[in-house]
Amino acid sequence: MECGKVGGIGGCSEMRMGRRTFLGAASATALVAALEVAGCGTPATRPGAVAGRMPGPGPTVRAVFIRPKADKFWMGWPGASYDIAGHQNLYIDTLQKAADGLGVDLKFSEPLYDAASVTAFLEKLKSSPPRGVMIVLMDIKRWADVNRICDERGTIPTVVFAPMGTTFTGHLQKASRAPGVFVGSTQDVDWLSVGLRMHRTIWDMKQSRIVIAAGTKAEDKVMQPTGTTLHYVPRERFVEELAKVQECAEAKAIAAYYTQEAKKIVEPSSADILNAAENYLACKNLMEAEKCQGISMDCLGLVSSRKIPCPPCIGFSRLLDEGFPGVCEADVNAAISHLLIMRLCERPGFQQDPVPNTVNNTFMGAHCTCATRLDGFDKPHEPFILRSHSESSIGVSPQVLWRLGQKVTVMKFEGGGKSMLVGTGKVVSNIDTPPSGGCRTSVELAMDDIPDCRDVKGFHQLFIYGDHSVILKGYCQLAGIEAVHI
């Protein structure tokens, strides 16, 4: 049986070759090179895989400028040296470029020069509400108009860009604390793209579906307030999809890629690596069949019952590298957390089991699957070692080596998305198993602003390269979610 088309990506023709001999028949490098033409290359080269976003048109966001009618100021901020028309053109170009890259349908309204134009703008919002509003303030004297829009816009998520020269501390107090509003007060014009990305992320969260293979029932649950659909299917659905996958060119190319790119291979055989690649294809087939953009399942139950030959650790790792949630243990809060990080921060997260180190006063996290492209989907992968799944000692699990000294964000949705834990830290070590116990990828962090490591909240929190605390809190403000220090 052929792999066929998997997840909307062209599949490969069948190559008949024994499981234990295919890597010996041709070098891993040669096999990968031969199959890249068919779309079976590394995660970063697969068409449409860089961002993993929903296909089709994105959200409509209405942008508007609040500015004086004249093109020059006199004796008032931003100042007479601030070219109003020139800056407006700069903001338009920056916003449009970001919108094109994000797939946002950006519509510009006429500038708001006075109270009457503000009234007309609000009436248009009520008669034809967009998915989001982007306000660009260009006059420090017009905060009353900003506040009025924030008060009367309804529940439309609203981002206010207040560039340097348009606000003092007192001006932004009301709008910046309004529900569903985020005020970006900054000198950085490029931040406009971040504001649009927050709008796009709110849309993506509401449009996305994640298949949850657990239990025996088929049903849909919509998480609120994110709006993400959890599409439950019986756990046996994954077993069925895996049974359909046989040796094919794409599976062999994936196995060759991991064999070639691994820093070292410890326990797994070539047959184990091919099995792991076929798990990935089964995940993609199940996602496609159920029209979903991510997957989570009770994989440990399938392994312990021997219904699958190995856990899907490599399959999940590859999905994460491509921008699709591949989530362990049917953890729905972790599933929507992965989705958010991918869309908002444009990189994968690492779901882990938390362990406080009371000797070093540090925070350790371990799991048997981890993305390798921690800097971003189109960035080089971190070094990884191919190991067996630690708890069962079968299959293939990546031990990903995290960059020492790297700043890391720690986060997770709680309560189905009603709140979010947010904190930061720094990588201080990678932990080997053995001599330690636990899962293969094990990372130790020195946490920020937490005097006692025992006080870190949550379970299965995500570790993410970089400090994303500001944008995560901004998203929470915009989406009506409570941000809680971890």
Catalogue all structural domains in the chain, each as residue range(s) with its CATH number: 22-52+208-485 (3.20.14), 60-205 (3.40.50.9100)
Half-sphere exposure of 464 (CA within 13 A, CB side): 31
Q: How confident is the model at residue 316 (pLDDT cuts 50, 70, 90)?
A: very high
Q: Rounded CA gap, 353 and 205, in Å?
A: 25
Beta-bridged to residue 296, according to DSSP, are 212, 327
**Average pLDDT for residues 407-436, to the nearest whole number?**
96
Measured CA to CA, the distance from residue 244 to residue 248 in angstroms comes to 11
**pLDDT at residue 41 above 80?**
no
Query: Are β-strands 209-213 and 353-357 bridged in parallel, bridged antiparallel, or unpaired?
Result: unpaired
* Alpha carbon distance 78, 408 (integer Å): 36
Query: What's the CA angle centered on 317, arms 315 and 319, to 5 degrees?
Result: 70
* pLDDT top residue among 373 and 17: 373
- What is d(CA 277, CA 35) in angstroms, rounded to the nearest whole number? 15
Which residue reads 């932990």 in tokens? 431
* pLDDT number for residue 5: 34
Region 306-323: what's the mean pLDDT?
Answer: 91
Bond before 434 cis per omega within 30 degrees: yes
- For 327-341, the pLDDT digits (tens) are 999 999 999 999 999
Report the distance separating Cα 447 and Cα 424, nearest Å. Answer: 6
> Could you count the other beta carbons within 10 Å of the beta carbon of residue 65?
22
Structure confidence at residue 396 as a pLDDT band (50, 70, 90): very high
Whole-number Å distance between alpha carbons of 15 and 167: 65
pTM: 0.89
- Residue in this structure with the two tokens 């006080």, named with its chain if needed: 455
With a cut of 50, say whether residue 36 has pLDDT above it: no
Q: Token pair of 264, please?
A: 């070292």
Residue 27, number of CB atoms within 10 A of its CB: 13
Burial of 86 (0-12, 13-18, 19+ CB in 10 A): exposed
Q: Give the pLDDT band (50/70/90) at residue 7.
A: very low
Q: Write the burial class of residue 153 (CB in 10 Å: 0-12 exposed, 13-18 middle, 19+ buried).
A: buried
Q: Distance from first CA to last CA of the chain, Å, rounded? A: 49
Report the SS3 class of residue 44.
helix
Q: How far apart are CA 484 and CA 419, in angstroms?
A: 7
Residue with more model confidence, 179 or 12:
179
pLDDT tens column, 213-223: 999 999 999 99
pLDDT tens per residue, range 240-298: 999 999 778 899 999 999 999 999 999 999 999 999 999 999 999 999 999 999 999 98
Q: What confidence category does residue 79 fall into, taking pLDDT thresholds of 50, 70 and 90? A: confident
Report the 3 state secondary structure along 99-146.
Answer: HHHHCCEEEECCCECCHHHHHHHHHHHHHCCCCEEEEEECCHHHHHHH
For residue 312, give Cα distances in angstroms to 240, 270, 276, 332, 408: 14, 16, 6, 17, 26
Say if CB 241 and CB 286 are below 8 A apart.
yes
Q: Are 482 and 418 in contact (CB under 8 A)?
A: yes
Q: Which two tokens stand for residue 453?
A: 């490591």
The answer to whether residue 22 scores a pLDDT higher than 60 is no
Which amino acid appears at position 371 of this protein?
A: A
Cα angle 449-443-472, degrees, rounded to a multiple of 5: 50
